[in-house]
Structure 1
Amino acid sequence: MAKDKTQAAPVAEKPSKPKTSSGKSKEDSGKGGVSLTGRIDQAKEFFEQSKGELKKVTWPTREETVKTGIAVLVFSVVMAIYLGVVDMALSRLVALILS
């Protein structure tokens, strides 16, 4: 019989660092944990990755932005008027019932 090709080969897990009682690895449990240069390197990497992700973004055109902005304003005004009318009607109904 042939071996089933749909089964994935077992993935070797990275060996985990031994943890101290505080949850930090023994390597990080020294004075201050991660060094300043390590944090600076992490920050540089973060900003480089962020810059790469921002290049992938599809930004809307000015026309699309104006159109959606107008749509939001119109919808907000319509909802404000609707809720105002409903509030006024319910207020009068409650006043009528209580009087």
Structure 2
Amino acid sequence: MAIDKKQINRLDFITGIREEMKHVTWPTRKEAIQLTTTVIVISLIVALFVGIIDVLLARVLEFLAR
């Protein structure tokens, strides 16, 4: 069975991925937890800020619509 060019390209692609994955520096469990916590906290702060702005703008527009 002959291997066509598409199969060779796929094999090269998968081989390349495996080689690149060897060079990845993965975070430790502690680092991953710290970074995840940071993202969640910042997301909550931004959500709170956007929520406050939304309520204020809604009240201003309601006042102006009267």
- Normalising to structure 2: TM-score of the pair? 0.84
Q: Deviations over 1:55-94 (max 9, x none)?
A: 0111111111111111111011111111111111111111
> Aligned-pair RMSD on alpha carbons?
1.6
Q: What is the aligned counterpart of 1:75 among 31, 42, 48? A: 42
Q: How far did 1:36 drift?
A: 4.8
Number of aligned residue pairs: give it: 65
Higher relative contact order (CA 8 A, sep 6+): 1
Instruction: Give unmatched runs, 5+ long, in structure 1.
Output: 1-34
Aligned sequence identity (%): 28
Q: Structure 1: which 4+ aligned runs deviate by more than 3 Å?
A: none
Q: Normalized per residue, which structure has more helix?
A: 2
Instruction: Give unmatched runs, 5+ long, in structure 2.
Output: none
Tell me, in whole angstroms, the C-alpha distance in 1 between the residues paired with 2:52 and 2:59.
11
Match of 2:52 in 1: 85
Match of 1:94 in 2: 61
Report which of the two structures shows the higher radius of gyration computed on alpha carbons.
1
Q: Deviations over 1:1-56 (max 9, x none)?
A: xxxxxxxxxxxxxxxxxxxxxxxxxxxxxxxxxx8532222222221121111101
Match of 1:52 in 2: 19
